[in-house]
Amino acid sequence: MSKKNNAPEAPAPTPALSDEQHPDYQAYVYGDDVDDSMAEAGGIGPDGPGVPIPPLNPIPDLPIPNIPGIPLRICSAVSGRYKLKTVLPPIGGPGIPILNLTNITVRVDVDRFYPQKRISIEVTRLLPRSTAHLIANVTSDQCTGLNRRKIQATIAYREGNNALIPGEKLLFEASRGLGVGYSNYKLTVTGAGTPTRVYNLDFVSQYFDDVEFEVDKVDNAGSPSTDYATHSHPNRPASLPNEVLSLESVYKRAGFNATISPNSTPIPATGAGANGTWSDSEMHNAMQTYWSRFANKPQWALWVLFANQHDTGYGLGGVMFDDIGPNHRQGTAIFTNSFIKDAPVGDANPAAWRQRMLFWTAIHEMGHAFNLAHSWQKALSGPGYNPWIPLLNQPEARSFMNYPYNVSGGQSAFFSNFDFRFTNEELQFMRHAPRRFVQMGNENWFSNHGFEAPQPEFFTGRYKLEVRPNRENNTYSFLEPVSIELKLTNTSAEPMALDEHLLQDGGHIVLFVQKDSGTVRKWEPLIVRCHQEHKSMLAPGESIYGTHLVSASTSGWLIDEPGFYNIQAGVDMLDEVVMSNVLRVFVAPSTDKEENKIAPDYFTEDVSRALVFDGAPELNSAMDTLKEVADKLPGTPAALHAAKAVAGPMLKQYKRLEEKDGSLAVVAGKADVEEAARLQTAALLDAPQKAADTFGHIDYFQSLETLADALNDSGKKAEAKKVMSSSISTMKSRKVLSEVIEQAEAKAKNL
């Protein structure tokens, strides 16, 4: 006898609501002046005349008479993108438009979805080339008649050559001609001591920019859907409309004309070998392969890859790669076989919960590609990094860019009040920041954001952050990558709950590097991971650790010349930013002619990425340079790092993304554990103290463990035990924590 299910069924979802049907869409305004006291960014004031009215039936665009005494003050939406009107030749003249040496793009943001009450302007002069960007806050919005609208704004932000568009005030006017619809658009710029300038505009689009997503799925990732039915799970806001959202619809409402590329296709994994998980290096290699067949340049395009699982395991849900050539933020990966599919025990609809988390993860990782930081991460700043528009941390924000489990009450509280949108501050950045800050393949991730320096009153004294080299002295040889260790200690009298990935995932820390007394440069991680939250109690006096190679960042090498360098770190603890000591290191000048000959090829972005990812076979030139370093500079710290990176891809059946017959496929190469072990044994074990000095404790001992696993899996158990024995001996001589030694001993025993 079947058990009857008494749970109420969710009503059948509808496709994404049309703009006019959605309660957050403002299609019309009517009445008198709408000023900033009546309507706030992102929503309409309760008493303002900017209240949406029901959609009107289409009115033919025909001349209509003026009816004396009956003012018809209704204005349809004007938000969108405009450009300087092309000047046509006079009638009877040559049929060539007059060339505009100055291009102007205007973005008006006063209605439609989540209006931010802003007008932004881009100006580009061709000869001599110069640019300017400004953002103005709307102060008045008048509907003076049927589709006759006047919007005033005050300039609040400028960047670039102010002389291209001087002034302080803007007036945007939209009016109809003989018919009902708008046909005339004009921008007037005024200011004290500057001539009034008037620009006639053409309407381009209701969207601020066009963007294309290519969504590819590895076939062992299951069948992930990129849609979500908003009423499929009972935990939701009561006011949330019942519809099916898609990747495109979310970003359309954020202001982008988002489309899915027709080239999206399943990627067979039949050649991937027994190991179906992905390492950072393999994922990087796949991204490099993909973008070599696409276009490695700034463009409004993003690659989204659904894969099965990362090598680190179930706790990693997604990554945004920030280091593909000189053009960053072009691709993301979402791992379907990860914690994002673990619905809470007893959840009312586990299948809907899983689909919602998958959809949220995809939008979240894609948001990073638009250069959005985490909601709780915006206070990471430092010397020389001034905000474009000041933003504050928003740890309780109901945004795609916040972690659901970070808010008070956890994921249940988050989704009960989540409207599937970005915050107003995030929308302001996406819609109105200088476009190079937002466009994929342009500015580095997490740069030029609205950061705000931490205030001293927020320092609680609960934590101490140390930056240290974990070696006897702070002197490094020429070409030697500088690796540092971070140590965060609970200095309070109470246990503290901390995420174990805090210092390692790239999402919570910031580092600054300064040569002598020169410019302070910001270090960025080459990969940012979205981990499952895994908090553990840190007792008073206990510490957590992380390690990073700080010589190179997404912007290239930061430490590439002899001299003194200062290094400082900060970690965002949500309610405070903890700053570290300043570590001073010295890079010695070269004393070897061969080093000087190799240096120009070595200090490249590709070589730095190959070092960070322990090999990158797609970067042939970089790998050749590392082989040359290992061969010609034996015994040097640089050679140890090079040998480890060259051997890295050989330790496993290394997956590649290859093009076959016009389609992509995952293919696994043959492991060469014997050759990899030869190279890494020489690098890691011939002089273990020297190797531990240059790699740092965390990376060094993890590398030995990886080598032992590869040897053990290939049937070389005796050699694996020998590697672990050497590791344990070195740990004891360097006074590594006893619990770390005990874990290594347990592993050696189980080999």
Q: What average pLDDT does the segment 498-506 reach?
A: 76
User: What string of H, E and C letters represents the secondary structure of 376-396?
Assistant: CCCCCCCCCCCCCCCCCCCCC
- The number of helix segments (H) and strand segments (E) in the chain equals 15, 39
Q: What angle do CA 436, 448, 376 make, to 5 degrees?
A: 125
- Ranges of beta strands (E only) in 525-575 are 527-531, 535-538, 543-549, 552-553, 556-557, 563-572
Task: With a cut of 90, say whether residue 228 has pLDDT above it.
Answer: yes
Q: What is the pTM of this model?
A: 0.67
pLDDT range class, residue 295, cuts 50, 70, 90: low
For residues 311, 314, 315, 319, the Cα torsion angle rounded to the nearest 10 degrees is 50
259-294: per-residue pLDDT in tens? 998 877 777 776 555 667 887 777 777 766 665 545
Task: With a cut of 50, say whether residue 527 has pLDDT above it.
Answer: yes
Q: Which two tokens stand for residue 343?
A: 């619905």
**In 613-696, which residue ranges form alpha helices assigned H by DSSP?**
620-632, 637-647, 673-684, 688-695
- How would DSSP label each residue in 399-435? STTS-GGGSTTHHHHHHHT--SS--HHHHHHHHHS-H
Range among 308-312, 545-549, 631-635 rated most confident = 631-635
Sign of CA dihedral 452, 453, 455, 458: positive
pLDDT for position 7: 44
Q: What angle do CA 155, 186, 65 make, to 5 degrees?
A: 135
Strands 182-191 and 227-229: unpaired
Q: How far apart are CA 363 and CA 369, in angstroms?
A: 10
Longest dimension (CA), the chain: 99
Count of CA atoms in the C-beta half-sphere (13 A) of 211: 34
Q: Which two tokens stand for residue 595?
A: 């080093």
Q: 305: which residues sit within 8 A by CB, 6+ positions away?
A: 216, 217, 218, 286, 287, 290, 331, 332, 333, 334
Task: With a cut of 60, say whether residue 214 has pLDDT above it.
Answer: yes
Q: What average pLDDT does the segment 489-497 reach?
A: 87
Strands 301-307 and 277-278: unpaired
Which residue from 449, 428, 427, 426 is spatially nearest to 437, judged by alpha carbons? 449
pLDDT range class, residue 64, cuts 50, 70, 90: very low
605-626: per-residue pLDDT in tens? 899 989 988 888 888 999 999 9
Q: What average pLDDT does the segment 204-224 reach?
A: 89
Q: What average pLDDT does the segment 91-106 reach?
A: 65
Sign of CA dihedral 151, 154, 160, 163: positive
Task: With a cut of 60, say whether residue 583 has pLDDT above it.
Answer: yes
pLDDT range class, residue 224, cuts 50, 70, 90: confident
674-730: per-residue pLDDT in tens? 998 999 999 999 999 999 999 988 888 988 999 998 899 899 999 999 999 999 999
Strands 316-321 and 331-335: antiparallel
The residue among 106 and 337 whose pLDDT is bigger is 106
% of the chain at pLDDT higher than 90: 38
**DSSP code at position 17:** P
Task: With a cut of 80, say whether residue 61 has pLDDT above it.
Answer: no
pLDDT range class, residue 653, cuts 50, 70, 90: confident
pLDDT range class, residue 175, cuts 50, 70, 90: very high
Task: With a cut of 50, say whether residue 385 has pLDDT above it.
Answer: no
pLDDT for position 383: 38
Task: With a cut of 50, say whether residue 44 has pLDDT above it.
Answer: no
Q: What average pLDDT does the segment 405-434 reach?
A: 92
Q: How far apart are CA 449 and CA 386, in angstroms?
A: 9
With beta carbons less than 8 A apart as the criterion, state whether 454 and 379 touch. Answer: yes
pLDDT for position 305: 85
pLDDT for position 39: 42
> What angle do the packed helices 637-647 and 688-695 form, to 10 degrees?
80
pLDDT for position 721: 92
Q: What average pLDDT does the segment 12-35 reach?
A: 78
Q: How far apart are CA 151 and CA 173, in angstroms?
A: 6
Cα–Cα distances in angstroms (integers) from residue 23 to residues 11, 18, 44, 250, 419, in the given order: 18, 10, 11, 15, 12
Task: Kindly report which listed range (79-93, 296-310, 311-325, 564-578) carries the lowest average pLDDT score.
Answer: 311-325
Q: How far apart are CA 44 and CA 119, in angstroms?
A: 17
What is the average pLDDT score of the chain? 81
Q: How far apart are CA 139 and CA 569, in angstroms?
A: 41
Cα–Cα distances in angstroms (integers) from residue 157 to residues 362, 432, 449, 451, 744, in the given order: 32, 10, 14, 15, 56
pLDDT for position 725: 92
Q: What average pLDDT does the segment 518-542 reach?
A: 77
Task: With a cut of 60, say whether residue 449 has pLDDT above it.
Answer: no
Q: How far apart are CA 22 and CA 16, in angstroms?
A: 9
**Taking the CB of residue 195, how many other CB atoms lie within 10 A of it?**
9
Q: How far apart are CA 291 and CA 274, in angstroms?
A: 26
Q: How far apart are CA 580 and CA 543, in angstroms?
A: 14
pLDDT range class, residue 4, cuts 50, 70, 90: very low
pLDDT for position 321: 62
Which residue from 143, 196, 204 is spatially nearest to 174, judged by alpha carbons? 143
